[in-house]
Amino acid sequence: MRKQQILVAARQVALRDGPDALTLAGIAAETGITKSAFYRYFRSKEEILAWLLMSESRTMAEDMRVALAGCRDLTEAAAAYVDLCVKRPLFCKLASDMGANLEQNISLEALIAIKQESARQLEDWCNVLLDLNIVTDKMKAVLFIRTAYVILAGLWPITNRSAIVREASEQAGLNHSFISFRDEFHQILTGYARGIA
């Protein structure tokens, strides 16, 4: 119960202040749990964020089923998935941080559990595509979901720059270098979907 309470509080803090501002002290203030009590459930902030990503991924699978319900093919599903991701910046941020940061800073035991949960969630996401007859080949569903995740994880950080990076780019006259996450993700993912369809 406490573990779930911590995750709920972490989500509230991350949505309000951004995941980068998430601290154990901030979560403690939300939950009333002492910092030392956190270590009974999570060994680090990164572990909390990794489990928060798993929670967000479960919600995404449920939302995908609704968002993709009217899609006739993988290209339409790709566009609907992009639109869904745009509405879920916390998911996008956590997904982009997973390989580069979160996985590197958690215990082996926690990483194994998270990898097992990720495998279950990949299965759930693939089942959405299969159940809705968007694809009929499971391997194609797996490839699409994995590729969408990799594109999202790579594209999110370069399209959602910090205020200081935006200011430096503006002062250097590089405003033209900014790209839209939605537009780029849509173009790349729908193009990929057409290619494997």
Per-residue pLDDT at 3: 84
Contact 48, 27 (CB under 8 A): yes
Residue 62 has pLDDT above 80, yes or no: yes
User: Which residues, in sequence order, are CB contacts of 61 under 8 Å at separation 6+?
Assistant: 121, 124, 125, 128
Contact 137, 158 (CB under 8 A): no
pLDDT band with cut points at 50, 70 and 90 for residue 176 = low
- Alpha carbons 35 and 16: distance in angstroms, whole number: 20
* High-pLDDT (> 90) share of the chain, %: 47
For residue 190, what are its two tokens?
A: 């729908």
- Alpha carbons 189 and 185: distance in angstroms, whole number: 6
pLDDT digits (tens, 9 = 90+) for 106-164: 888 988 999 899 999 999 999 999 999 999 999 999 999 999 999 999 999 888 766 67
pLDDT digits (tens, 9 = 90+) for 69-95: 999 999 999 999 999 999 999 999 999
